[in-house]
Amino acid sequence: MPPDWCSNQRSERRIALTGRRVFPSIPVRRRLSLFVEAFERYRRFWRKIFNEVEGMACSRRTVQFRLFVWTILPAVAFGAVFPDVTVAQAQKIRIAYSSRSNTVMPLYIASSKGFFREEGLEVELIQVSPRLGAMAVMNGDVSFTTSFTSTFRAILQGVPLKLVLVALKKGVYFLVTRPEIKDVQDLKGKKLGIATIRGTDSLVAEELLRSKGFNPALLQQLVIGETPLRAQALVAGVVQVVSLSPPHDLLLKNMGYNVLAGPPEVGLPASGLFTSNRLLKENPQAVNRTLRAVLKANRFMSENRQETIAVMLKWLPQTQEVAIRSYDVELKALAKDGQMTDTEMESLIDRLGEKKRPLDEVRDFNPVRQAIKELETKQ
């Protein structure tokens, strides 16, 4: 018998469909099976109801209301029990970065301001050695890496990755020495602390030294690691000179260390996004959504100075003065469209590669161009 739709006598009867309360000890898959069975019975029940509605004596409005309530309740209950079935899950993305510094500020902004979430992404930022970043992407351990020079070189050597976005076209680096080093010529025979052999900071240090008339070959290069570690090595006297990006240069200057040169006139890109050819082919939407989030961060940074500085202060221990200066210095190098010209790319290949490779094997800016077009359409 169908329920008496014209009577309120059964209004006190309620069904509380809250998976764990109704089926406290039944596994999730079994609970889902039970609900599927219930909905099949529910479908047959409604077929019978519709056949009998025509003969009801109560008002049409009352029937419509009761039908509405009994239709909506099961749908809401099903969503409460199995939210992972009814709500699309955010896609998990891992992005590797090499150093905890302001050079990857767009990622911090995209994460803290919810731009990744807006694109349906759950992003985890993972610190990885520059030389391991490319391998982590190729193996699928992470989706993207920001380490520029080491990854770019790996591509030139045949690793199946692509540069899909440029964050900083020209890295902002400063040559910082211990207090007793007053002149660049005092560095003869001393030690230069670097992140990796022939990494961005190493190449920029050599450029800065040459600009001061000093032959970098007169220095011994010592691999230390990421930016904070190089700064610590300088303070401890393990090395006498380092090449650092903001905010570490100003932090050291405030402690009495000397800034001999910087930033370089030519420089090298400090960060970007590299991903695998496989991800570009198999999941272009994940790449597209990631790029849209980072582009949103770029625009936010250029339009919201104070809020950006506030995020910088939360992310990295630094004073307000250091954060303000870092913002003003690094924002000038920010590639707001995430791209480099073919001429700039050719020059970069000449500087970093032993032999040339076709540009289409090195970079793919089509996804970022598409992301820009989509953002402009939404405005």
pLDDT number for residue 103: 80
Residues 163-176 have pLDDT tens digits of: 999 998 888 889 99
Residues 6+ apart with CB under 8 A from 63: 5, 53, 56
Cβ-contact 251, 265 below 8 angstroms: no
Give the pLDDT of residue 48. Answer: 55
Phi, psi of 94 (to 5 degrees): -110, 135
Per-residue DSSP letter, 225: -
Q: What is the pLDDT of residue 41?
A: 54
Is 41 buried (19+), middle (13-18) or exposed (0-12) by CB count in 10 A? exposed
pLDDT number for residue 118: 96
**Can you give the pLDDT at residue 79?**
44
How far lies 201's CA from each of 4, 175, 248, in Å?
79, 10, 13
CB contact at 8 A, 193 and 222: yes
pLDDT in tens, 26-54: 444 444 454 445 445 545 554 554 455 45
> Which residues contact residue 307 at a Cβ distance below 8 angstroms, ignoring those fewer than 6 apart?
300
Q: b/e map of 265-277 (b: 16 or more CB within 10 Å)?
A: eebbbbbbbbbbe
Model pLDDT, residue 25: 41
User: What is the spatial distance between Cα 118 and Cα 244, in angstroms, rounded to a whole number?
Assistant: 34
> Which amino acid belongs to residue 127?
Q
Q: Name the residue with tokens 């199946």.
A: 160
Read off the tokens for 366: 């089509």
Nearest Cα neighbor of 208 from 263, 271, 148, 268 is 263
pTM over 0.75: no
Phi, psi angles (nearest 5°) of residue 237 = 85, 10
Ranges of the chain whose pLDDT falls below 70? 1-88, 266, 379
Q: How many C-beta neighbours within 10 Å does residue 10 have? A: 10
Looking at residue 187, its pLDDT comes to 95
